[in-house]
Structure 1
């Protein structure tokens, strides 16, 4: 039996106190209540088919905007999560407040996701936030080291609020794409020309997805070009589809903002370390040149 953790136990108690509010986080709850075929009395099959298709289109339109409209349920006494000054300051309480512990229905859980599940409550999988926090910190270290080595990190996310500050924090080491253009890596010559292809400068060093389930084609292209990937993986997905999987609620806007904000802050820290090292190397080179110049001047004086 898994030992009980206080923070995760708090999450379970919060969910048990408000199971209806918790169910709103799961997109499967909406999917289960989606439209089904029906025929009203006196209605022809053609009219029933047209009406049902209209209902399906409207339901799909609402599903497409669910990620931007999901409200955040905060347990009593818990404040909304805010951007932290450093990735090291991320805690289980901030993940809990962002709704990161809420997964999908137990019946559609992917078997490979079982190690990341703490338990079940109100028909939903409860994600183990102890593992989420440790994995998030490791992923932040990866982003920091990539940027520290002057690598390029590409964020693929439709969450505009989560990606607003990436460019300001990471400069030329961070780029944002709201959607992935098919063939961006596998047919790069069409987009960039032959020169970047020959130099290999069109390939990012790391690609981060806020919703890997909606970017399977992009992940496949990254795999073909041997570009590591990172993303928020929910309980209905195979965590092995990305190189670095962060187990959390992929349907929560607050969770995406918290994770992407933490990773961008890690990139900012890596960029700051690289600039500091470059400044020290430049200062060291200047001192070395000055020392060599003084040494040559001293030898010339002795010769005279």
Structure 2
């Protein structure tokens, strides 16, 4: 079953590109026609590319890895933050810090600093500080939260990036390219799609268009998470059956089976939390 339809894309205004004078010639193959000085995107190609992107993201998530959502433009940031939170994925919606991927170790230090401030408020250290020191710490905490709050739980580099407006987020695209991190993105008629692994030709300015495309990606992530959960449950059932068979045949004492299963479950949880 298709994740969306031609009519839904049409109703959301996904086909409206930029003024013809602002176009990027590399987007020519995704443009259907020109109308009243505006390029019209070929929605049949959008449908195909969106399905391709959603399927690939689903497989990434199914393997237990994270997709980083990136959108700092005003009309996209709230939509993207909401959709990313819904599937527990990291996101950047305030400002892309140069080196967020290529200098990830330093970014992790800043995240740790934010965590340490939170610890101070819990263990009582914060209470003994002067009013001026408290104010400085509060300001720093707010600044760090705005910049890094969406990636606070990201312990390693993301497996992929989902980007709204590759022209605006060119630094993120460049860093992903250097690190060979796959990129998925809404690409409008004024942008270069050649550096994007999974370009989705679409209007990246209208809130309806952004909401629809982002929602399709979110649903693909949900599918990936559910399939991963099912696979783990099936694997656990198979192991339990195999262990029971060994006990029944006398190959392994019953007392040793349960601790082994518990240790494996703990190891799997630890890996998922990375």
Query: Quick check: 1:215 aligned with 2:169?
Result: yes
In the alignment, which residue of structure 2 is the partner of 1:121? 35
In the alignment, which residue of structure 2 is the partner of 1:245? 199
In the alignment, which residue of structure 2 is the partner of 1:191? 107
Counterpart selection for 1:278 from 232, 257, 263: 232
Q: Which has the larger radius of gyration?
A: 1
Q: Following the alignment from structure 2 to structure 1, what is the Cα–Cα distance between the partners of residues 91 and 251?
A: 53
Query: Quick check: 1:164 aligned with 2:82?
Result: yes
Counterpart selection for 2:11 from 83, 97, 109: 97
* Runs of 5+ unmatched residues, structure 2: 110-153, 253-274
Q: Following the alignment from structure 1 to structure 2, what is the Cα–Cα distance between the partners of residues 112 and 290?
A: 60
8 Å CA contact retained: 1:162, 1:261: no
**Higher mean Cα deviation, 103-112 or 284-293?**
103-112
Q: 1:149-174: CA deviations, max 9, x gaps?
A: 11110101242134314333x33xx2
Q: 1:107-135: CA deviations, max 9, x gaps?
A: 22211111111111111111100000111
TM-score normalised to the size of structure 1? 0.64
Counterpart selection for 1:288 from 227, 231, 242: 242
* Aligned CA distance change for structure 1 residues 145 and 294 (closer, same or farther; 3 Å): same
Query: Quick check: 1:176 aligned with 2:176?
Result: no
Q: CA deviation at 1:211?
A: 1.6
Q: CA deviation at 1:229?
A: 0.8
Q: Following the alignment from structure 1 to structure 2, what is the Cα–Cα distance between the partners of residues 151 and 257?
A: 23
Q: Following the alignment from structure 1 to structure 2, what is the Cα–Cα distance between the partners of residues 166 and 237?
A: 24
Higher relative contact order (CA 8 A, sep 6+): 2
* Aligned CA distance change for structure 1 residues 163 and 258 (closer, same or farther; 3 Å): farther
Q: Following the alignment from structure 1 to structure 2, what is the Cα–Cα distance between the partners of residues 103 and 264?
A: 24
Q: Following the alignment from structure 1 to structure 2, what is the Cα–Cα distance between the partners of residues 152 and 117?
A: 32
In the alignment, which residue of structure 2 is the partner of 1:225? 179
In the alignment, which residue of structure 2 is the partner of 1:106? 20
Q: Following the alignment from structure 2 to structure 1, what is the Cα–Cα distance between the partners of residues 27 and 166?
A: 15
Q: CA deviation at 1:176?
A: 1.6
8 Å CA contact retained: 1:163, 1:260: no
* Aligned CA distance change for structure 1 residues 180 and 120 (closer, same or farther; 3 Å): same
8 Å CA contact retained: 1:118, 1:128: yes
Number of residue pairs matched by the alignment: 205
* Aligned CA distance change for structure 1 residues 265 and 295 (closer, same or farther; 3 Å): same
TM-score normalised to the size of structure 2? 0.70
* Aligned CA distance change for structure 1 residues 162 and 187 (closer, same or farther; 3 Å): closer
Query: Quick check: 1:146 aligned with 2:100?
Result: no
Secondary structure of the residue that 2:96 maps to in structure 1? coil
Provide the aligned C-alpha RMSD in A: 2.2
* Runs of 5+ unmatched residues, structure 1: 1-85, 194-199, 299-304
